[in-house]
Structure 1
């Protein structure tokens, strides 16, 4: 088995250190900006470059602020109660996808109000732009040797020194990178190449992420200070993903049911 020994610091300038994880955020935002402009340039898109830039800015703020607030609320609220200023100690790490999602939803609502666009017009536009950033973030987790998987005797297991043992573990970060990044991007990008009913792309995003995250959680080590939240197998990640699966499926059903109803009129 391979022992993880990747340096999480990409550039070390003494007093200034640039971590790979931070670069992955930049890759995520840059890819969303590029893909958003590509889609905006298509005939009849209803979008322009300035709107895309503003959307990425508001979305980035939602990801960072929501991700931090979500981590504190969902994963370490007792520490916040003991030390409220810890909320701002982002250099210590701690971001939550589900919190970031809530932050992005809030950003979309603000953007919709500012530009007088429909909420799902924006959400459906954004959905295919997100997975590359998710995949890059999971790669950053792997490079940083964090959020490791459960113990395994498979030959592709990885020994993560930060886990405090010499057990081979599932590289669950890479599993998530492939599913949340590569697969989700390919499916959503191809799906949205043709006009789809409102809510459909957003629903597909929520459904796929919820299913993929719940699946990978079977191989990912639960947070040590939380463990399993119920039934000796349900993790916090799965619990937070369940509403995504339900809501995503409902959005898809409602979107296509509306199309079928209009076709019968």
Structure 2
């Protein structure tokens, strides 16, 4: 079944980090935009006279998704990218078309003992969308554990990092790890690590009987990490993944 395409309007645009923006769209008819945390939408736009489409995970930290009216997502610039050219030059009031939601990178009804949420760059967007639901679940179940591992090149690219670090202070069951592949800060915080996300995996003490792992972001990271987790007996039941493909077309 083909998802209908709804006219949407750009409501807000803000910089999250150098070369990374957050855009917020609303439906032109002001209808609700419903989705499950972790899902994504496709945005259609015109580039050099041709219609293009790109998919982005919902990044909004929304407490009441039943009455939600916005689709918020993050995008990092790709050199000569059609989507980058369009969205980085878009202005509030500009129109596009949106379809969705799509995707199965969502939380199960029954929690595992621990969630491992692993992402690179804007691949943490779906995890930010999960925060309100995870907060509720941790409040109901103090034994629930959540480990969020985020990989970027340097501290300046750490989008939503302050929110994740604050949540770790508020909830004993929530842990945040920021991994820098190129440059560490001079005085790192306890949650900051040198290296790529997979350099931290051994420290997590993965247990296929109690853990559920999520992978989102750079395709190479997703493939390499999935192979690592599968070697430790995680399967399709407790290993979810979504790749972000970077296209210039």
TM value normalised by structure 1: 0.27
Give the structure with higher Rg (CA).
1
TM value normalised by structure 2: 0.28
Judging by fraction of residues, say which structure has more helix: 1
Judging by fraction of residues, say which structure has more strand: 2
